Amino acid sequence: MSERLDLLEVIRDYGHPLVKLDVTATELECLKLREKLMAIRNQSGAKEQGYLEVACTFYVDVHDIDRYLAGELPNLAEIYAFPEDVKTHTEE
């Protein structure tokens, strides 16, 4: 279901990005999310696939960048996902 583009494909299709933002999670968070997504697949008899959908807007200003570069902030922004962000996709 998911298709990832590598940097060369991104550049080819969209141009050079201004910044790349990484999404990370702890091992425990990954395992808990995987369990929820697999439950969807198992309960549907493999007819549906679970996925996490997060649509968001966040703002980074000069003050945020300065504080991040000075080590005052652990990151530029945080995105939180909640149980209602877990969706299903019907396999075809």
Residue-level pLDDT at 2: 58
Q: Which amino acid is at 37?
A: L
Cα separation of 80 and 76, whole Å? Answer: 14
Burial of 15 (0-12, 13-18, 19+ CB in 10 A): exposed
Burial class (CB in 10 A: 0-12, 13-18, 19+), 40: middle
> pTM for the complete prediction?
0.69
> Are 42 and 34 contacting, i.e. CB atoms less than 8 angstroms apart?
no
Question: CA-to-CA distance for 34 and 29, rounded, in angstroms?
Answer: 9
**pLDDT tens per residue across all 92 residues of the chain:** 457 788 899 899 989 988 888 888 889 999 999 999 999 989 988 888 899 888 888 888 899 999 999 999 988 888 888 888 888 888 76
**What is residue 29's predicted lDDT score, i.e. its pLDDT?**
93
